[in-house]
Amino acid sequence: MSLFLKQFSTHSEYDTYINGSDAILPNVSICTTEGDVHYNPYAEPIETRVVAKFNVDDTSGPTQIMGENADSLFSAIEIDGVEQPSVVSAYTFSTEGEHTVKYTLTNPTSIGEYAFYSCYSLTSVVIPDSVTSIGDDAFNGSYFENCTIGNGITSIGNQAFFNNSYLNSVTIMATTPPSICSDYCNFGGEMSTPTIYVPSASVETYKAASGWSSYADYIEPIS
């Protein structure tokens, strides 16, 4: 039995409310007939945090886990399942190998400029559906291998994923191509370009979209 939360007269009124605010409503669904929003206690909560993997090979000193001076972009961080008492740009891990860091965004719809600039130990990133924009140079110079971007993304900033010759795949769940700059400096490095996976029904749309046409040879359907 769902619990009534809030009633909207129309679906567009609901869309305006959701898109016009930074509020995240977990476990919420919209009834297709009345336009009501209901809470489902059995639904999986919406993930609103950026999830990153780090490969640590040196425990003698701190590993950079976010861009310098980017701590204001995050309200909390969790490292290997433990919520940290403060948000810091670097962290000293106690063991080598893979570690998971989850970041709670100060603005849940945006990853700001230089958020993960030059995080050399970063190996993969998952960006949640709540994020609609990724700022300029957000991941510039970070040496991770793959990235998944949620279906809410509408814009990707200049050089957001550039200067990363290790990046071999980017998966974008959005059916509508997000806006990107038109020059050839968004993904990968000067001598390498990753495979960009998009929803199968949107492959040709991406290839023809402004900015994305430069990557047409690298765009493939999500299998």
Q: Render each residue's pLDDT in the chain as its tens digit; 223 residues.
A: 344 455 555 666 666 666 655 444 544 544 444 445 544 444 455 568 999 999 999 999 999 999 988 999 999 999 999 999 999 999 999 999 999 999 999 999 999 999 999 999 999 999 999 999 999 999 999 999 999 999 999 999 999 999 988 999 999 999 999 999 876 568 877 778 899 999 999 999 999 999 999 899 999 999 8
Look up tokens 């493939």; give the residue. Answer: 220
Look up tokens 């409310």; give the residue. Answer: 17
First to last CA, the chain: 36
Do the strands 74-79 and 82-83 form a parallel or antiparallel pair, or are they unpaired? Answer: antiparallel
CB 172 within 8 A of CB 147: no
CB 155 within 8 A of CB 131: no
Counting Cα atoms < 13 Å in the Cβ hemisphere of 115 gives 25
**pLDDT at res. 82:** 95
**pLDDT at res. 184:** 59
Structure tokens at 124: 């993969």
In the chain the domains, ranked by start, together with CATH numbers, are: 3-39 (no CATH), 49-221 (3.80.10)
Counting Cα atoms < 13 Å in the Cβ hemisphere of 29 gives 12
- Dihedral (Cα; 79, 122, 198, 152), 10-degree rounding: 40
Residue 113: how many CB atoms within 10 A of its CB? Answer: 18
**pLDDT at res. 11:** 62
Residue 48: how many CB atoms within 10 A of its CB? Answer: 16
